[in-house]
Structure 1
Amino acid sequence: MERDVYQDEHSDFAESVSAFLRQDVTPRIGEFEKAGMIDRDVYRAAGKLGIVGLQIPEEYGGGGQDGFLFNCVVTEQIAYERSTMGSLRVHTDVVTPYILSLATPEQRRRWLPGMASGDLMTSIAMTEPGAGSDLAGIRTSLERRGTDWVLNGSKTFITGGAQSDLVIVVARSEATENRRDGLTLAVVEASMTGFSRGGPLEKLGLKAQDTTELYFDDVTVPAENVLGEPGRAFTYLSAHLAQERLSIAVNSQAQALAALAVTCEYVRGRKVFGTTLGSFQNTKFVLADLATQASAGQALVDRAMVRHERGRLDPAEAAKVKLFCTELHGKIVDACLQLHGGYGYTWEQDICRMYADARVARIYGGTSEVMKGIVARTLDLVDR
């Protein structure tokens, strides 16, 4: 499908990203899956190529990109190369925008150079055992003591949590009548006393992406590690959710196309009943239908990418694209695995890993049900 969203500079960058993945990452996927995380040397190597700090200003060692399109290029190339970069997207697409928009000059000097180089990897801790999509239900506490703050509580399902040097923690700093008020962002550093991590969570998929629980036991957070204004975290979180959901949609769309490519390659060579699997009408019709739906998903994603570049992607639009593309992602990889037959159920086949990795896309960043609720609110269905 011809796309107008990218320029020549994006295409050139895509080639360099693909070359890096093929040489330094893809051959090591088995190693990373066994370890449950990407080796830190990969992040540092990616940092030297400018992949880790794309939107970080040049004065801090980053790429200085104002827009999000180069981030999308990285996400797509990882999918097309059937590779992985662990928790990189959380660092670049989710956490970096918070630092860029909320950090003080002193905080930017402290954190951005390491974030751009890959020496300081980051994560964001929102989800708790009793608060997932309901962010207003967060119970991790942040209490003032003198000029500092003290953090207590736990977080779970934290992508990048095992390796992160900096963790943005969403905590309740004040009891308020409106549950959305009184939340604050605190940046916890790995060396802080009282901060600990649980073991890796055994997941269905995303085996090379570290995911863990985090614990905070009387962690002293200095005032200079509070991000933004105390009590305004919910507003900050809401402002950045559109990009997070667009990032997930871009990944799902690219992964769906990769699954189609893998399957077309497979059915061309797979012989059954004396002929290739790709010559059967059912195979042709299944893949033709999936390819058509994938084109629709690409059009939706590209439109959202353009609107986001213009600062016009609103929460409902982001919810629509996330909902459509993640649901389609699941449908496509399921059908593609079916065409692989029994071989598709073995981990040695790329489609098996793609199938396992796809399932969480309909959960993280807001479940499909949450996305439907957001879209439904725009339809004026309730009597006034």
Structure 2
Amino acid sequence: MRSELQEELNIFRETVVRFIENEIAPHYEEWENNKIIPKAFYEKMGAEGLLCCDIPEEFGGFGVSVDFNMMVVEEIAKAGYFALACNLIVHSDIAAHYVLNMGTAKQKQKYLPGMIDGSCIGAICMTEPGAGSDLQGMKTTATRTDSGWSLSGSKTFISNGQNASCYIVAARTNLDAPGSKGMTLFLVDGDKAGFTRGQNLHKMGQAASDTSELFFDNVELTQADVLGNVDEGFIGLMHELPRERLACACIGTAHAEGALALAVEYIKERQAFGAPIARLQDIRQKIAHMATQTELHRLMMEQYKLLLTEKKLTTVQASMAKYSACEMECEVIDTALQMFGGYGYMKEYPISRFYVDARVQRIYGGTSEIMKEIIGKGVIGKV
């Protein structure tokens, strides 16, 4: 069964690689300079069948396994277009699956077809100024009104913040209960009165990704805008986080594989002391370590994708994947850049973008420190 899947994935990979070469590579520098990916590009991806591949056919998707979703973002990450890969994860693997798994029939019909064809870009709004990874420290609130709810507060570091038209917003709805028991998720359309997009934030890396501040000033919502059950949003978050963290781990592994390939190519060309530096023992040993690390994580990712498909991937396993893969990603890319010498620090060499794009992987989606805390508690159990 897995061999049949692999054969289908290999065929699909050809489509993805061709799309990258024809539709991404010629334009990516412009997107980096403009600090945003054009909305129209998402529709181009949708037309090619590269968005939300595993969403059921009844909504316009292919209903295939998560492997196809990951194939798209992994190949994009491996090619060095990491900002796009991250934006696509937020859209296809996070926002769309919140709607699929928690939405009503009407909500699914309203949003999923557009997410699949690229006309509706999704964003997930959790992080707030001062709260960071502490979701229970959230300040955004939604209070009941005669017609439904009034949403007020702010979010920051929101991927797809400028381009999105469907925002999944977490807010406190019961201030008397702890955050884990008094939080609700809402679907907020981008044209709602009282909703404002702040600045497109200037980041160290991933320049092409629109990452924004968002402001909600008494945004009027109805019960039809509630995603899932009132006061049970934290449960929904915990259910979806393993997929998000595995996705981060998958693109991290692919990103490292791409950096390794760049390094291997370069050390064969770079001369030092009258010979290619690939002949130096120290270089070969570093390459051996990088190759071993990427291979180990590739095997881990493939196994964990299977567990996710079978709904067996645990929170601890997903945390292990994100922690280990993202730390490895940064280590491998740093070593690869070192092999380029001074040229690795120059923007015209792609490895420099690999380096600055990777760093945030150890922060968003749950910091490495948070991942280790989850893993440690899960392994030790109650004491």
Partners of 1:297 and 1:109 lie apart in 2 by: 37
Tell me: CA distance 1:41–1:27, structure 2 relative to 1, closer, same or farther (3 Å): same
Q: SS of the counterpart of 1:7?
A: helix
> Can you list the C-alpha shifts for 1:112-160, whole angstroms capped at 9, x where unaligned?
1111110000101000012221111111010111132111000000011
Q: SS of the counterpart of 1:187?
A: strand
Matching residue of 2:52: 53
Instruction: Give % identity.
Output: 37
**Counterpart of 2:351 in structure 1: which amino acid?**
I
Partners of 2:137 and 2:319 lie apart in 1 by: 21
The worse-fitting range, judged by mean Cα deviation, of 107-116 and 225-234 is: 107-116
How many aligned positions are there? 380
Q: 2:26 aligned with 1:22, yes or no?
A: no
Deviation at 1:329, TM superposition (A): 0.4
Matching residue of 1:332: 332
Partners of 1:109 and 1:5 lie apart in 2 by: 31
The TM-score, its normalising length taken from structure 2, stands at: 0.96
Residue 77 (structure 1) aligned to one of 75, 78, 100:
75
Tell me: CA distance 1:206–1:54, structure 2 relative to 1, closer, same or farther (3 Å): same
Q: SS of the counterpart of 2:208?
A: coil
The TM-score, its normalising length taken from structure 1, stands at: 0.96
> Can you list the C-alpha shifts for 1:230-274, whole angstroms capped at 9, x where unaligned?
110000000011000000000000000100000101111112222
Contact 1:26 1:82 in 2 (8 A): no
Partners of 2:381 and 2:114 lie apart in 1 by: 48
**Counterpart of 2:187 in structure 1: which amino acid?**
V
Q: Give the ranges of 4+ consecutive aligned residues of structure 1 lying more than 3 Å apart after TM superposition.
A: 3-6
**Counterpart of 1:77 in structure 2: which amino acid?**
E
**Counterpart of 1:74 in structure 2: which amino acid?**
V
Partners of 1:346 and 1:306 lie apart in 2 by: 39
Q: Structure 2 matches for 1:32-47, cutoff 5 A?
A: 32-47=31-46
Deviation at 1:381, TM superposition (A): 6.9
Q: Structure 2 matches for 1:329-368, cutoff 5 A?
A: 329-368=329-368
Matching residue of 1:207: 207
Deviation at 1:222, TM superposition (A): 2.1
Matching residue of 1:223: 223
Matching residue of 1:126: 126
Partners of 1:196 and 1:234 lie apart in 2 by: 25
Q: SS of the counterpart of 1:151?
A: strand
Matching residue of 2:66: 68
Deviation at 1:179, TM superposition (A): 2.6
Contact 2:135 2:179 in 1 (8 A): no
Contact 1:103 1:227 in 2 (8 A): yes
Q: SS of the counterpart of 2:358?
A: helix
Partners of 2:354 and 2:135 lie apart in 1 by: 29
**Counterpart of 2:123 in structure 1: which amino acid?**
S
Contact 2:194 2:216 in 1 (8 A): yes
Partners of 2:248 and 2:271 lie apart in 1 by: 36
**Counterpart of 1:268 in structure 2: which amino acid?**
K
Q: 2:31 aligned with 1:10, yes or no?
A: no
**Counterpart of 2:72 in structure 1: which amino acid?**
V
Matching residue of 1:309: 309
Deviation at 1:187, TM superposition (A): 0.9
Deviation at 1:4, TM superposition (A): 6.8
Partners of 1:237 and 1:287 lie apart in 2 by: 39
Deviation at 1:108, TM superposition (A): 1.4
Q: SS of the counterpart of 2:27?
A: helix
> Can you list the C-alpha shifts for 1:294-313, whole angstroms capped at 9, x where unaligned?
21111222221121111110
Partners of 2:283 and 2:121 lie apart in 1 by: 44
Q: What residue ranges of structure 1 are gaps of 5+ in the alignment?
A: none
Contact 2:51 2:69 in 1 (8 A): no
The worse-fitting range, judged by mean Cα deviation, of 215-224 and 233-242 is: 215-224
Matching residue of 1:320: 320
**Counterpart of 1:279 in structure 2: which amino acid?**
R
Matching residue of 1:143: 143
Q: SS of the counterpart of 1:220?
A: strand
Contact 1:38 1:208 in 2 (8 A): yes
Partners of 1:149 and 1:230 lie apart in 2 by: 11
Partners of 1:17 and 1:381 lie apart in 2 by: 43
Partners of 2:155 and 2:80 lie apart in 1 by: 30
Q: What residue ranges of structure 2 are gaps of 5+ in the alignment?
A: none
Q: SS of the counterpart of 1:204?
A: coil
Contact 2:133 2:366 in 1 (8 A): yes
Partners of 2:39 and 2:69 lie apart in 1 by: 20
> Can you list the C-alpha shifts for 1:156-215, whole angstroms capped at 9, x where unaligned?
000111110010000001113333111011111111111001111111111111101000
> Can you list the C-alpha shifts for 1:88-114, whole angstroms capped at 9, x where unaligned?
110001111110011111111211111
Deviation at 1:11, TM superposition (A): 1.0
Tell me: CA distance 1:5–1:186, structure 2 relative to 1, closer, same or farther (3 Å): farther
Partners of 2:148 and 2:14 lie apart in 1 by: 47
**Counterpart of 1:170 in structure 2: which amino acid?**
A
